[in-house]
Amino acid sequence: MEKYGDYLSKNGIRPSTPRLLIYKYLFENHNHPTADTIYMALSPSIPSLSKTTVYNTLKLFVSKGVAKSLTIEENEARYDVDTSVHGHFKCKSCGGLFDVLTSPENLNISGLDGFQIDEYQINLKGFCKVCKPN
């Protein structure tokens, strides 16, 4: 827990117990969870935890750059502590969300001559190798 506390402190976040446990959950579970998923996982061990605390903590993490908010589906925000540049693939069958490596140089996008790309999200949907129909 000390390494999580140090990391949060270095990024201007006071490492309270709920913040530490939420960050630890994100770091150890690369399933791109929703706020509700995090709340359901942590509330049995922290009875005083509220959904509001989870939402506010995630908002703080995103604002400080220690996590990203992903919107793969319009009604569903998911969170990722891997803040490196990468895309995501969501399986239409099992709902799994997988990281994919991307870079603007490898994308064949036209119409952006003279533009400066500062940020991008690549979201792909289909069937993972386990769920893919034959």
| CA–CA distance, 121 with 128 (Å, rounded to integer) | 19
Does the predicted TM-score (pTM) go above 0.75?
Answer: yes
Angle, helices 51-63 vs 17-28, to 10°: value is: 70
pLDDT score at 17 = 94
104-134 confidence digits (pLDDT tens) = 666 677 788 888 877 777 888 999 999 998 7
Residues 6+ apart with CB under 8 A from 17: 46
Residues 6+ apart with CB under 8 A from 82: 30, 68, 99
71 burial type by CB count under 10 A (0-12 exposed, 13-18 middle, 19+ buried): exposed
